Amino acid sequence: MSILGGGIFKGMAVTLRNFVGSYFSKERLTTNDYSWRPDGALPQSIADYPKEEGEQLRDTTTVTNYSRNFPMLLHDGGEPMDTVRCVACQICERECPPQCIYIEKDYDENGKYIKRPAIFDIDVSVCMSCQICVEVCPFDAIVMNSQFELSTPNRFGGLLVRRDDLLKSNDYYHKIHPEEAAARDEKMAAEKAAKAAKKKAAGEKAKAAAEKKAAEAAKAETKEGAE
């Protein structure tokens, strides 16, 4: 049994560690990291910032391997809609707490359901970045993106991200979140292997059963023959 209120003290220990640590280790002060500057010093005026669109600035100061902002859809390379992992099962749509996902299934000309979304919209003005859609997705099709420059002059349409803008390749995922992507790939490979093994086992079982049946039949035949 844990001590009553122990969780609060645990949390306070974490904040205290950060409080004290910020005075001793410079790496903790990520907002104060000016290593992208030639001299690594604190910028004193606007002239000290890069004049071109600051690629380094963005990479070094804000986005880390663990930052996440809004969800994106994954495809396995090539033509996005051919390799998209999403099958439009709508689990994420139903689990989404603020209900910001809208999905419609895709059908071919015969009216047969092909496993991919025709419409997949995320209203990022409603999304609260809770990552629940990522947790519930059985196909590892939706993951968090770290893109944050989403400002738009259009208040309504501009914040509704469409399917084609949500689609990102697995390589991009590996680029922004390398550890997480590798872990996910491993997990998917393991699942695939397990599935294949199961299928193989099932096939072998059926084969064994058939052999047994055949053997029994042969045995019965020999028995009959002996009589």
Partner 1 sequence: MNFELLIDILIATVPLMLIFATLFAFTTWLERKALARIQNRIGPNKVGIPCTRIGLFGLGQPAADGIKMLFKEDIVPRGADRLFHLLAPILALIPAMLVLCFLPLEFPWTKSLLPIQAFLLDGAVIFFFAITGLNTLAVFMAGWASRNKYSLLGGMRAVAQMVSYEIPLVLSAVIVVMMVGSLNAAEIADAQKGFDWFVLSPWGFTAFVIFFISALAETNRSPFDLPEAESEIIAGYFTEYSGFKFALFFLGEYIAMFAISGLAVTLFLGGGDGPGLAAAPWLSVVWFIAKIFALIAVMIWLRGTLPRLRVDQLMGFAWRFMLPLSILNILVAGFAWHAQQQDSTIITVITWVASLAILYGTASGLNQLNRGNTRPRKYKYAE
Q: Report the residue from 57, 81, 136, 188 that binds partner 1 according to the rule CB under 8 A.
A: 136
Judged by CB under 8 A, which of 63, 81, 91, 160 binds partner 1? 91
4: contact with partner 1 by CB under 8 A? yes
27: tokens are: 């790496």
Quote the CA–CA distance of 70 and 142 in Å, as a whole number. 10
- Contact status, residue 128 vs residue 98, Cβ threshold 8 Å: yes
Contacts with 96 (C-beta within 8 Å, 6 or more apart), sequence order: 132, 133
Residues in the chain: 227
- Which residues lie below 8 Å from residue 93, measured CB to CB, with a gap of 6+? 99, 101, 102, 103
CA dist., res. 167 & res. 164, Å (int): 5
Shortest Cβ 95–partner 1 spacing (Å): 6
With 0-12 CB in 10 A as exposed, 13-18 as middle and 19+ as buried, what is 67? middle
Site membership for partner 1, residue 8 (CB under 8 A) = yes
H or E element: which one contains 169?
A: strand 167-169
Taking the complex as a whole, the smallest distance from the CB of residue 148 to partner 1 amounts, in Å, to 18
Greatest Cα pair distance, the chain, in angstroms, is 107
Nearer to partner 1 (CB atom), residue 54 or residue 138? 138
Question: Of 50, 54, 138, 158, which one interacts with partner 1 (CB under 8 A)?
Answer: 138
81 versus 89: smaller Cβ distance to partner 1:
89
Assess 194 for contact with partner 1 (CB under 8 A).
no
> How far apart are CB 143 and partner 1 at their closest, in Å?
15
Residue 43 is a binding residue for partner 1 (CB under 8 A): no
Cβ nearer to partner 1, comparing 94 with 207: 94
Closer of 132 and 159 to partner 1 (Cβ) = 132
> What Å distances lie between residue 39 and 34, 44, 46, 50, CA to CA?
9, 12, 16, 13
The minimum distance between CB 40 and partner 1, in angstroms, equals 16
Give the residue, chosen from 24, 30, 216, 225, that forms a contact with partner 1 under the rule CB under 8 A.
30
**Contact residues: partner 1, CB under 8 A:** 1, 4, 8, 11-12, 14-16, 18-19, 21-23, 28-32, 90-91, 94-95, 132, 135-138
